[in-house]
Amino acid sequence: MPVRGLEPLLAERRLIQQAPLSALAETRIGIDVSQYLRQILTSESTREPLIAATGGLPIALTAHIEADLRTLDKFRIKPVFVFNGLPLYRRNPPRQAQEVISGREAAQRNHAWALYEQGHAEEAAKVLTEGQRHGNWVVPIEVTRLILRMFRHRMVEYIVAPYMQWGQLSYLLNHPKGYVHSVFSSLEMLAFPTQRVITSIDFANATFRFVDRGRAIADIGLIPDQFIDFIILCGTELLPTFPPLADNFFNRSLIDMLRHFKSGAGVIAGHSEHPAVRASGYLEGFLRTRAAIKYSLVLTAEEGTCLPLPLVIPPTQQAHAITASEVPADIHEIFSGRLPDELYFHISKGLISPQLVGWLTSGIIHELPPLDNGESIEYRKYIENVITEGATAPRCTALSLLTSCLNQAWQQKRIVSSRLHRVVRRKD
Q: Specify whether 420 is located in the same domain as 393.
A: yes
Q: Per the domain annotation, does 184 fall within a domain?
A: yes
User: Tell me, what's the pLDDT at 151?
Assistant: 96
Per-residue model confidence (pLDDT) at position 85: 95
Please check whether residues 186 and 102 belong to one and the same domain.
yes
Q: What is the pLDDT of residue 370?
A: 73
- Looking at the structure, tell me whether residues 22 and 42 fall in a common domain: yes
Q: Could you tell me if 413 and 406 are in contact, meaning their C-beta atoms sit under 8 angstroms apart? A: no
Cβ proximity of 71 and 19 under 8 Å: no
Whether residue 34 sits in one domain with residue 155: yes
Torsions phi, psi of 343, nearest 5? -70, -40
Domain end position, chosen among 179, 200, 217: 217
State how far Cα 330 lies from the chain centre.
Answer: 23
Residue 298 forms part of a structural domain: no
What is the CATH classification number for the domain harbouring 136? 3.40.50.1010
Based on the fold, state whether residues 108 and 150 are members of the same structural domain.
yes
Can you give the pLDDT at residue 423? Answer: 45
- Domain of 343, in residue numbers: 324-427
Number of domains the chain contains: 3
Task: Please give the pLDDT value at position 317.
Answer: 54
Same domain, 126 and 184: yes
309 in a domain, yes or no? no
Length of the chain: 428
Nearest-CA neighbor of 162 among 240, 237, 98, 83?
83
Cα–Cα dist 173/167, whole Å? 10
Which of 217, 252, 272 corresponds to the end of one domain? 217
Residues 88 and 175 in one domain: yes
Residue 354's pLDDT is: 95
- The whole-number pLDDT of residue 367 equals 79
Same domain, 205 and 229: no
Residue 378: the pLDDT is 83
Alpha carbon distance 79, 68 (integer Å):
10
Tell me, yes or no, whether 229 lies in a domain: yes
Residue 99's pLDDT is: 57
Same domain, 125 and 230: no
Output the pLDDT for position 106: 72
* CA-to-CA separations, 78 to 18, 64, 178, in angstroms, rounded: 20, 17, 13
Q: Answer whether residue 360 is part of any domain.
A: yes
Q: Say how far apart CA 415 and CA 428 lie, in whole Å.
A: 7
Question: How far is residue 358's CA from residue 85's CA, in Å, rounded to a whole number?
Answer: 8
Distance between the two ends of the chain, CA-based, in angstroms? 33
For residue 207, being part of any structural domain is answered with yes
Shared-domain flag, residues 25 and 174: yes
Distance of CA 267 to the CA centre of its chain: 25
Q: Give the end of a domain, one of 217, 238, 270.
A: 217
Rounded to whole angstroms, the Cα distance separating 203 from 40 reads 11
Residues 128 and 185 in one domain: yes
Do the domain assignments include residue 140?
A: yes
The answer to whether 162 and 298 have CB atoms below 8 angstroms apart is yes
Separation CA 134–CA 136 (nearest Å): 6
> Which helix (H) or strand (E) element contains residue 127?
helix 121-128
Per-residue pLDDT, 97: 55
Mean per-residue pLDDT pooled into runs of 10, the chain (428 residues) = 88 96 97 94 80 77 95 97 92 56 71 79 78 70 91 96 97 94 97 96 96 96 96 94 88 93 95 91 95 96 92 75 87 92 96 94 83 75 80 87 91 81 46
Residue 426 pLDDT: 44
Quote the pLDDT of residue 92: 59
